[in-house]
Amino acid sequence: MSPRPKISLDLSTILKVAVDIADQNGFEEVTLANLAKKLSIRPPSLYNHFEGLPDLRKKLAIYGLNQLYSELVNRSIGILGEKAVLALSLTYVNFARNHPGLYEATLQAPDPIDSELQTAGGKIVELTLQVLHAYQLPEENALHAVRGLRSILHGFATLEQKGGFAINLDLNESLTFIIKAFLKGIRELSEGIRTPYKGQSLKE
């Protein structure tokens, strides 16, 4: 019998195997023991790359955030306004569809205030702010809008993954409708800020 070819155990290779485990079996199945079994190595070998399970899951979360950011940039670059927001939104939800376990990893990191995680997540926030720049919201309102958009996308993706949309209706059309309604509100809010209401105020 010919010897089994050795796998080059660099961090990127290991994380890609961890992604496969997460996407196929669920995020909770990403353990050092399961990862070592998948790689056909002894679990102690993984301590050359991770300090333990929390560190593995943190690195997987950062990997996932970077992958998500890369896809969002590629899909939204070169377009503006509503088209850019729709492209970003569909890409976000598609990422959760294609990588359910990896997407969950981005939300389940052991220490969400870790500086490396903050940096990886911050890139997505900055990209979303750039995409929403066309609506000319003041800084604080723009951040509220980012939170609102993320809440919509995460809620939609989560409900879809949990089988919450049983009606026979195209999901992308539903998402597009929701985002357009959200943007209509953002647009009206932006116009209201630039042109304050000058009518007589009501008095009790």
- Tokens (6 digits) for 63: 């990997």
CB 78 within 8 A of CB 172: no
Start-end of H helices in 77-161 = 81-98, 100-107, 115-131, 139-161
One-letter amino acid at 134 equals: A
* 164 or 190, higher pLDDT: 164
> Closest by alpha carbon to 39, among 19, 58, 53?
19
Counting residues of the chain whose pLDDT is more than 70, the rounded percentage is: 88
Q: Which residue has the tokens 């102690």?
A: 44
At the fourth CATH level, the homologous superfamily of domain 53-194 is Tetracycline Repressor, domain 2 (1.10.357.10)
Report the predicted TM-score, pTM, of the whole model to 2 decimal places.
Answer: 0.87
pLDDT(1) > 70: no
Query: Sorting pLDDT into bands at 50, 70 and 90, what band is 204?
Result: very low
Helix (H, G, I), strand (E, B) or coil at 202: coil
- Tokens (6 digits) for 89: 């939104």
Summarize pLDDT for 23-53 with one digit per residue, the tens: 999 999 999 999 999 999 999 999 999 999 9
